[in-house]
């Protein structure tokens, strides 16, 4: 999925370390069972001059996916690829994105979820 921001931004805005975000965050919220609550939270993090990565902590272990700063104002995130490492892959996944810039939070979509068919 590609997420477009209002303005251009540098990957270093999301600088952190493996599984530890910096002060600004781009989150991928996963609802795996349809209860409208996030079951997993992925974090897009820029780690020391490398590409952006999607880090997801799960009870099955840590999951990693890719993200790419495709244009000056957008990022493409492989939201489903980390889920293939889960013990049990849900057939339907719902996702939402949230950007956190200090105290300001912006969610996409504003309410509800984006439905994805994984299998």
pLDDT 10s digits, 31-82 = 999 999 999 999 999 987 767 999 998 877 788 888 989 999 999 998 888 8
Domains of the chain: which residue ranges? 2-117
Q: What is the pLDDT of residue 6?
A: 85
Tokens of 90: 């849900």
Q: What is the pLDDT of residue 63?
A: 87
- Backbone dihedral angles phi then psi of residue 14, each to the nearest 5 degrees: -100, 25
Q: What is the pLDDT of residue 18?
A: 83
Q: What is the pLDDT of residue 109?
A: 94
Query: How far is 10 from 15, CA to CA, in rounded Å?
Result: 10
Q: To the nearest whole percent, how much of the chain has pLDDT over 90?
A: 47
> 10 or 91, which is more confident?
10
Mean per-residue pLDDT over the chain, rounded:
88
**Sign of the four-CA dihedral 19, 25, 28, 30:** positive
Q: What is the pLDDT of residue 119?
A: 61
């Amino acid at each position: 999925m590609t997420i477009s921001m209002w303005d251009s931004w540098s990957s270093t805005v999301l600088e952190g370390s493996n599984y530890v975000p910096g002060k600004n965050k781009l989150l991928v919220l996963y609802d795996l069972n349809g209860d409208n609550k996030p079951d997993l939270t992925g974090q897009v993090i820029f780690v020391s001059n490398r590409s952006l990565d999607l880090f997801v902590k799960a009870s099955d272990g840590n999951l990693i996916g890719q993200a790419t700063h495709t244009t000056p104002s957008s990022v493409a995130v492989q939201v489903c690829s980390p889920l293939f490492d889960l013990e049990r892959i849900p057939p339907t996944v719902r996702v939402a994105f949230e950007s956190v810039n200090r105290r300001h939070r912006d969610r996409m979509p504003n309410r509800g979820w984006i439905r994805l068919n994984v299998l």
